[in-house]
Structure 1
């Protein structure tokens, strides 16, 4: 589970590093591969509205997993990070459902952001219950 979460969080930070590079004029990835309707200013604003959620869950997840030592604080930060990850994926899927837009890769990635935190929370809860017994 730790590897899956770490790869997901690092991937999200990479996505936003590429987006920031594009803003700086370094187009490392073709814009049409970043998200659909990339020339529409409303969609560009919508995409950037995810920046705090995405970077928040990625930074908090990595911070909690690799830096924090207090088990209570570590668990609190993990739950917050997983909640933000879930919300980011669900909001994206909701928006594109309303727009009736479907791309299997894009949907798959956002479904991953919805499903992974659920499994991580269930996995963590089961592990805590085993420790109590």
Structure 2
């Protein structure tokens, strides 16, 4: 790797690459879900139980800010980790890891809240349980990896060769 590159091999470990891929799918999935929900494109037979109940609708839409915050911080962390925002954002690049931790925490919180709600209601539909368990659990694994290996996965600027 040349001294002029902006990437660090630690930001491309196989484990971290898998976490980043899962985050990208999740964050784009959140944005897709909310686009479809806001445009009322979800067929009633695919919607959650009591979809037409205004209280249930309010409950669902109460996740909008949480999910969007998770997506924005997640997508920004991914862009910063790749150096994809150009030279002007270079000084902000070290923020990728804290933003990733925030995004994963928000994602897990959204999954936990949904799972707890469906459990309290006694609604065991796999259509809603499977994605919400994924939202709850994949960030727990990712956070464990990132926190356990935080020192080795954090971006470090490339070293300059001696004499420069």
More helix by share: 1
- Match of residue 114, structure 1, among 136, 160, 163: 136
What residue number does 2:55 align with? 42
Shift of 1:129: 4.6
What residue number does 2:22 align with? 4
Aligned residues of 2:146 and 2:153 also touching (Cα < 8 A) = no
Aligned residues of 1:64 and 1:74 also touching (Cα < 8 A) = yes
Deviations 1:61-82, CA, capped at 9 Å, x for gaps: 0111114654542111111111
Higher relative contact order (CA 8 A, sep 6+): 2
Report runs of 4+ in structure 1 exceeding 6 Å deviation.
Answer: none
- Match of residue 54, structure 1, among 67, 80, 88: 67
Deviations 1:13-35, CA, capped at 9 Å, x for gaps: 1000001111xxxxx33033132
Deviations 1:36-81, CA, capped at 9 Å, x for gaps: 2111111000000000011110111011111465454211111111
CA 1:131 to 1:113, structure 2 compared with 1: closer, same or farther past 3 Å? closer
Matches within 5 A, 1:1-133: 1-22=19-40, 28-67=41-80, 69=90, 70-130=92-152
Residues matched between the structures, number: 127
Shift of 1:131: 6.2
CA RMSD of aligned residues (A): 1.9
Structure 2 residue runs without a partner (length 5+): 1-18, 82-89, 155-164
Structure 1 residue runs without a partner (length 5+): 23-27
For 2:24 and 2:153, the matched residues in 1 are separated by 24
